[in-house]
C-alpha cells in the first residue's frame, strides 16, 4: 500500500469458519447457561421434564390376567354352548404353551399341565395377588445342580427348572369321539312323540324298539332282528318299552293303558296288567317291581312275581307322567311330568318326599348318577331347555345350564363322571358333558328330527339314539380305558337293515 494511504477493509470469514466458531463458543458456556438459553429460545408452552428418556408405567397392568385371557381356552359364557373338542391334541398343546409362558414371564411355578376341562384353573389365575413383572431381585446363593430347585449350571436350555418339570409331566392321552355313527338302522314307523319311550337296551345286548303296533328285538351280537309282539290284532299300539335288570323280561306299555310282560328268550307273553285309563308312556323296573306312568297322571307300582297283587298308586302329578327312573340304590323313584314338575318318591310313602318346580316345560329327561349318591339330573322341554342337577339328600338345587334346545333324554356314563343328552327343537343334536364343570366334550349331529330316544349299551361304551326321521344311530361316546386308539368292532360298518 502507499505510505499514508487508507487501510484495506478486513476480509469476511467464510461460512464454515463462522459455524465452527459458534460451536466452540457454545461448548465453552457453562451447563446452566446452555439450559437457560435453550429454555428461553423455545416457543412451546410445555414444560421440560427431567430425564433424557420416557419410561412407561406398568403399575396398572395385571399380566397374569392378560396372559390368561389370551389363552384360547378362556371363553365367554355365550361361547360355552358351542361345540368344541376340549381333549384334542392342539387344545392341550395350547394349554401347555400358556403355562410355559406364565412360568417364564411371570414366575408362576406351574409343574403340571392343567386339565382344559376344569374351570378351577380360571379362578386360580384370577385369584392371584398383585405381581410385579419388573423388579430388582437379589440372587441367592446357588445350590448344587442336583437339587430339586435348580438345574445344572452346564445346561444350555434357557428354560427354568419349573418349566422343565412342566414339559416332562405326564399328559393324559386325548380321547377322540367320532362325530359319525358306527351303525345306522332303519326304524320305520318310529313315532315322533316327545312323551313316549320306545327304545331300550338290555343287559343281554338286545335292543328293543317299539315301531307302530309291534316290538322288535335286534341283537347287537348277531345283528338278527326278530318280532316279539304285534298289538294290531287288538287295535292297540306300543307307547313304551323297558327291560328288567337281568335282561330276561321286557315290559311293553300300550296306548290303551295296558302293561304287558314278555319273556324275550321264549317269545311269549307272561301277563297283561290293567289299571291305567290312558296310554302308558313311562316304565321303570326296580328289581321284581315294575312302575308305570300314564297320561291319567297316576304312577302304579306292582310286583310281577305275585300277580295279581296289591298295587301302590302314587298320585302327585297334574298332567301326563312322561319320565320314570329308579335310583341305583333302589330306594327312590324320580318322576317327571308334563306339569313341569320333578318329584322324588321313596319306597314306602304314597306322597312325594321332594318336589322340584324350577323347570319351565315338561320334564321327560331324568337320570340318576351312578358315581355320586343322591345326585339327580333332569332336563326340560322346549320352553325350558335347561339341564338341572339336584342333591336329593338335602333337597337343594346344585347347578344348571341352558342347552339352547329341547332336552329329550339323559344318560350317565358308567365309567366316568360324564353324561350325554339328546335334544330336539331346534338343533336336534347329541351333547356329551363333563360333570361338574358342565364342559361340552363333544357335539354329535346327524338326525334330521328330534332325538327323542336314547339307550346305553350294557358295556357302557356305546349309545343308540332314535328320532322321528325313522333311524337308529349308534355312537361310541364313552370309554372304559380312556385310550386314544379306538377298538375295531365287527359292527363298525355303515349298514342299514329293515
Sheet with strand 386-391: strands edge to edge: 363-368, 375-380, 386-391, 396-402
Helix axes 89-106, 161-168, angle to 10 degrees: 170
Asked, as a colleague might, if the bond just before 163 is cis with ω within 30 of 0, I would say no
> Which residues touch 417 (CB under 8 Å, ≥6 apart)?
369, 371, 372, 434, 435, 436
Q: Which three cell numbers stand for residue 367?
A: 337320570
Residue with cell string 344311530: 473
- Nearest in space to 430 (alpha carbons), one of 413, 414, 446: 446
Question: Across the strands, what pairs with 400?
Answer: 388
Low-confidence ranges of the chain (pLDDT < 70): 1-16, 20, 23-91, 115-152, 172-174, 307-309, 481-498
Residue 39: all three cell numbers together: 429454555
- In this structure, how many other beta carbons lie within 10 angstroms of the beta carbon of residue 350? 12
Global model pTM greater than 0.85: no
Strand 280-286 versus strand 268-273 pairing type: unpaired
Domains and CATH numbers, the chain: 186-476 (2.130.10.10)
246 near 206, Cβ under 8 Å? Answer: no
Euclidean distance between CA atoms 184 and 470, whole angstroms = 10
pLDDT, position 472: 96
Nearest CA to 405 out of 466, 342, 449, 454 is that of 449
CA 295 – CA 279 distance, rounded (Å): 6
CA distance 493 to 186: 14
Q: What is the pLDDT of residues 260-287, one digit of tens each?
A: 999 999 999 999 999 999 999 999 999 9
Q: What's the gap between Cα 388 and its chain centre?
A: 13
In this structure, the dihedral spanned by the alpha carbons of residues 152, 153, 154 and 158, taken in order and rounded to 10 degrees, is 90
Amino acid at each position: 500500500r502507499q505510505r499514508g494511504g487508507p487501510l484495506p477493509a478486513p476480509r469476511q470469514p467464510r461460512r464454515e469458519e463462522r459455524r465452527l466458531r459458534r460451536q466452540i463458543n457454545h461448548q465453552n458456556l457453562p451447563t446452566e447457561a446452555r439450559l437457560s438459553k435453550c429454555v428461553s429460545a423455545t416457543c412451546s408452552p410445555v414444560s421440560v421434564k427431567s430425564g433424557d428418556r420416557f419410561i412407561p408405567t406398568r403399575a396398572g397392568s395385571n399380566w397374569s390376567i392378560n396372559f390368561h385371557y389370551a389363552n384360547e381356552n378362556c371363553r365367554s359364557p355365550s361361547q360355552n354352548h358351542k361345540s368344541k373338542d376340549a381333549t384334542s391334541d392342539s387344545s392341550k398343546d395350547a394349554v401347555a404353551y400358556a403355562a410355559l409362558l406364565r412360568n417364564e414371564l411371570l414366575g408362576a411355578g406351574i409343574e403340571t399341565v392343567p386339565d382344559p376341562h376344569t374351570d378351577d384353573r380360571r379362578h386360580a389365575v384370577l385369584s392371584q395377588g398383585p405381581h410385579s413383572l419388573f423388579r430388582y431381585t437379589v440372587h441367592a446363593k446357588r445350590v448344587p445342580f442336583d437339587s430339586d430347585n435348580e438345574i445344572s449350571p452346564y445346561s444350555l436350555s434357557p428354560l427354568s427348572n419349573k418349566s422343565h418339570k412342566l414339559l416332562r409331566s405326564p399328559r393324559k392321552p386325548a380321547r377322540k369321539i367320532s362325530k359319525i355313527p358306527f351303525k345306522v338302522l332303519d326304524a320305520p314307523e318310529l313315532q315322533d312323540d316327545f312323551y313316549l319311550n320306545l327304545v331300550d337296551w338290555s343287559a343281554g345286548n338286545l335292543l328293543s324298539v317299539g315301531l307302530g303296533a309291534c316290538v322288535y328285538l335286534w341283537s347287537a351280537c348277531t345283528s338278527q332282528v326278530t318280532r316279539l309282539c304285534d298289538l294290531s290284532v287288538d287295535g292297540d299300539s306300543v307307547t313304551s318299552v323297558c327291560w328288567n335288570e337281568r335282561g330276561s323280561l321286557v315290559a311293553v306299555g300300550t296306548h290303551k293303558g295296558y302293561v304287558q310282560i314278555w319273556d324275550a328268550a321264549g317269545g311269549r307273553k307272561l301277563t297283561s296288567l290293567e289299571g291305567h285309563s290312558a296310554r302308558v308312556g313311562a316304565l321303570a323296573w326296580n328289581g321284581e317291581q315294575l312302575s308305570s306312568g300314564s297320561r291319567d297322571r297316576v304312577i302304579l307300582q306292582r310286583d310281577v312275581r305275585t300277580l295279581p297283587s296289591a298295587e301302590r298308586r302314587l298320585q302327585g302329578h297334574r298332567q301326563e307322567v312322561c319320565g320314570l327312573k329308579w335310583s341305583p340304590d333302589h330306594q327312590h323313584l324320580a318322576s317327571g311330568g308334563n306339569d313341569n314338575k320333578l318329584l322324588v318318591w321313596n319306597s314306602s310313602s304314597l306322597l312325594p318326599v321332594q318336589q322340584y318346580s324350577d323347570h319351565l316345560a315338561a320334564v321327560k329327561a331324568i337320570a340318576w348318577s351312578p358315581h355320586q349318591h343322591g345326585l339327580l339330573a333332569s332336563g326340560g322341554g322346549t320352553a325350558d331347555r335347561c339341564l338341572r342337577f339336584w342333591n336329593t339328600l338335602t333337597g337343594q338345587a346344585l347347578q344348571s345350564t341352558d342347552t339352547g334346545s329341547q332336552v329329550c333324554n339323559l344318560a350317565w356314563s358308567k365309567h366316568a363322571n360324564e353324561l350325554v343328552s339328546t335334544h330336539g327343537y331346534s338343533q336336534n343334536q347329541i351333547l356329551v358333558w363333563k360333570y361338574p364343570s358342565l364342559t361340552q366334550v363333544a357335539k354329535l349331529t346327524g338326525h334330521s328330527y328330534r332325538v327323542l330316544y336314547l339307550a346305553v349299551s350294557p358295556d357302557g361304551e356305546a349309545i343308540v339314539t332314535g328320532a322321528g326321521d325313522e333311524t337308529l344311530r349308534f355312537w361310541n361316546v364313552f370309554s372304559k380305558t380312556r385310550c386314544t386308539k379306538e377298538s375295531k368292532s365287527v359292527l363298525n360298518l355303515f349298514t342299514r337293515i329293515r
